[in-house]
């Protein structure tokens, strides 16, 4: 059994202030027994401001500080940040702790609903999995959730759990899409999908750029049968979920969603 915390919060414009949120979130999660602590996409700095000025490599001060927090508490931390790219940045998930320090660069960019992430962000090209305490985890970011082949590929690479940080764009029907997509990707892959979003700024009283995807809350954890085991509201809160990897094996066996593929 793996205990995983999803820290739903609102990041702001200051990476140092957001680092304090990471520290306090990890401390609270560890006090509740969590071994992996997941933060949203864009934890380093929220969307709606220039990103190139704050982007840092994985060996830079922000990621190194998160690594120190993970090492101090002997946990894995997953958090969204931005790393430099030629003329743009990359939307990167930092995975640090437990012998790991690596990044996943978001593959599917949010060129949808009137937003063009690819104007400022370069896409990634490679999947990322990691092993911790005998369980294989995959990672994906926000808009990736609309692409079932990514989640099936992570399952093919051995993942039983996919961690999905997000900063979901608000709008009519977007909460419903978020919840359905997370559960559908769990069913598609037979994996647990643990989705951690930015909180809804309207619920927390935070002023943000209204044109940027700055979160709606409603983080959730779905098993491979599409059952929601835990869910959050719109505001800032932490979900702690006990995940049994054997449920992923049982789901794949029962549904045949991977074994019976023809395309």
pLDDT (0 to 100) of residue 71: 98
Per DSSP bridges, beta strands 111-112 and 115-116 are antiparallel
pLDDT (0 to 100) of residue 92: 98
Q: Which of 7, 56, 117, 142 is flagged as catalytic?
A: 142
Q: Is the confidence at residue 263, as pLDDT, over 90?
A: no
Q: List the beta strands (DSSP E) in 142-209.
A: 161-166, 192-197
Q: Which of 56, 106, 191, 196 is flagged as catalytic?
A: 106
Verify whether residue 172 is a known catalytic residue.
no
Given CA atoms 169, 175, 176, 180 in this order, what sign does their dihedral have?
positive
pLDDT (0 to 100) of residue 35: 98
Verify whether residue 133 is a known catalytic residue.
no
Q: Is the confidence at residue 46, as pLDDT, over 90?
A: yes
| Average of per-residue pLDDT across 61-72 | 98
Confidence category of residue 209, pLDDT binned at 50, 70, 90:
confident
Angle at 96 between CA 75 and CA 81, to 5 degrees: 125
Say which range, 37-51, 147-161, 181-195, 204-218, has the weakest mean pLDDT: 204-218
| Average of per-residue pLDDT across 112-140 | 96
| Count of all residues that appear for the chain in the document | 263
- pLDDT above 70: percentage of residues in the chain: 100
Given CA atoms 147, 149, 152, 154 in this order, what sign does their dihedral have?
negative
Confidence category of residue 63, pLDDT binned at 50, 70, 90:
very high
Verify whether residue 106 is a known catalytic residue.
yes
Count Cα neighbours of 206 within 13 Å in the Cβ-side half-sphere: 20
CA distance 122 to 47: 15
CA distance 190 to 252: 5
Q: Which of 7, 41, 56, 196 is flagged as catalytic?
A: 41
pLDDT (0 to 100) of residue 256: 95
Residue with tokens 């909180």: 199
Q: Is the confidence at residue 87, as pLDDT, over 90?
A: no
**What radius of gyration do the chain's Cα atoms show?**
17
| Average of per-residue pLDDT across 111-124 | 93
- Report pLDDT digits (tens) over 144-195: 999 999 999 999 999 999 999 999 999 999 999 999 999 999 999 999 999 9
Per DSSP bridges, beta strands 121-122 and 89-97 are parallel
């Amino acid at each position: 059994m793996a205990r995983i915390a999803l820290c739903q919060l609102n990041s702001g414009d200051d990476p140092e202030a957001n680092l304090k949120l990471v520290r306090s979130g990890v401390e609270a999660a560890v006090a509740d027994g969590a071994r992996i602590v997941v933060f949203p996409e864009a934890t380093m700095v929220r969307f709606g401001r220039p990103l190139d000025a704050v982007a840092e490599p994985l060996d830079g001060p922000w990621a190194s500080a998160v690594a120190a927090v993970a090492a101090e508490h002997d946990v894995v931390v997953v958090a969204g940040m931005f790393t430099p790219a030629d003329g743009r940045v990359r939307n990167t998930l930092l995975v640090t702790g437990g012998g790991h320090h690596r990044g996943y660069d978001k593959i599917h960019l949010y060129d949808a609903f009137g937003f063009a992430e690819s104007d400022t962000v370069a896409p990634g090209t490679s999947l990322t999995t990691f092993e911790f305490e005998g369980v294989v985890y995959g990672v994906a970011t926000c808009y990736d959730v609309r692409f079932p082949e990514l989640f099936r590929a992570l399952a093919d690479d051995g993942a039983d759990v996919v961690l999905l940080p997000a900063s979901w764009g608000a709008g009519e029907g977007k909460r419903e899409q978020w919840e359905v997509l997370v559960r559908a990707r769990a069913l598609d892959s037979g994996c647990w999908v643990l989705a951690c979003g930015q909180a809804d700024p309207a619920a927390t009283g935070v002023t943000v750029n209204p044109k940027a995807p700055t979160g709606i809350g409603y983080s959730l954890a779905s098993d491979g049968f599409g059952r929601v085991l835990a869910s959050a509201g719109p505001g800032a809160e932490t979900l702690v979920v006990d995940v049994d990897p054997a449920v992923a094996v049982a789901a794949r066996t029962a549904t045949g969603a991977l074994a019976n593929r023809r395309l």
